[in-house]
Amino acid sequence: MPKITTYDFIESNTRKTIFLFLLFPISLSILIYLGILYVSLLRLENMPRGAFQVSVFTLANQTAMYVLPIVSIIAILWILVSYYLGQHFILATTKAVELTKQNAPEVVKIVEDIAITAGLPMPKVYSINDMGMNAFATGRDPKHSYIVLTKGIINKLEKSELEGVIAHEMAHIGNRDIKLMLIMIVCISFATILAEILLRISLTARTNNSKNNVSAIQIFLLILAISLYVYGYLVAPLIKFAVSRTREFQADATGALITRNPRGLISALEKISGNSVVKILSDKQTMSPMCIANPLTKNKQDTFFSKVSGLFTTHPPIEERIKALKIMDGYRT
């Protein structure tokens, strides 16, 4: 069996990114059409007897001709804008502060050395003011990449351990995982945010209706919101599973090869395990797959939607990752 190389992962991730670009509007359109179909059925059932009748599909298709192109265009524009600006949104959301040679010379020097060894451009380095131990990389390509470290991971890890973590994140940059995860987050965020907006509009309209009647538009908005929730919490996790969780094992292996020291990353993962919660990320489930370890609090992990989306997580257990690294290291103690 031929050995899988880093170039194979880069090519695979590029194909998967194109796949997600296409699958997002297509799968979203299918869900919305099903919602339109249901609303059309309700409209036909409420028509007075003797009125001109058309088939449910004819009525649904007439509505879909106006709705689906608009939704698809909005979805594609959302992806394109977020693809170029999404990393800045992520940095702003986490309140990350840039690290420079003036305010964090040792950390920046480690990142520079790892970048040179990996043969990659120097990414910008940011820090989150949290003592939890976590890290992630983001950006659309190696030339526009960012590594984000918590203060906890900077202060609590030894130099060799921090090198292992940074090399792991540099591997995500080199393997183009950052581009893939950026698109994944954008797709899920679009669905869940729009679902929240439509649900609020639908409920507000019903509350303000003095006759307490539910119009076809209100029903449609409600069905559309439910469809988007289904996409964000059920369909998208399935797509995320298709992206493959091997990306973390590959990043661990590549990071260990960059530093030539698997023990550093092994020790780092052991320390990170059980101490990876980051307050500002603790309720941002869509960003969890970006991190080197799960940043969510225990109660957030136990919610229904977290359990459903977690069934197809791209992060294997840290114990499995440590075991794989120990095999690389020849079980040296």
Say how far apart CA 113 and CA 159 lie, in whole Å.
12
Selected catalytic residue, list 98, 169, 196, 270: 169
Instruction: Provide the strand spans (E) within the chain.
Output: 97-99, 124-128, 135-141, 144-150
CA distances from 202 to 72, 199, 207, 215, 217 (A): 21, 5, 9, 10, 8
Sheet holding 97-99, edge to edge: 97-99, 124-128, 144-150, 135-141
Phi then psi for 126, rounded to 5 degrees? -130, 160
CA distances from 62 to 38, 52, 120 (A): 14, 16, 52
> How many beta carbons lie within 10 A of that of residue 175, not counting itself?
22
Catalytic, 169? Answer yes
Q: What is the DSSP letter of 51?
A: S
Distance linking the first and last C-alpha atoms of the chain: 30
Q: Which residues carry out catalysis? A: 169
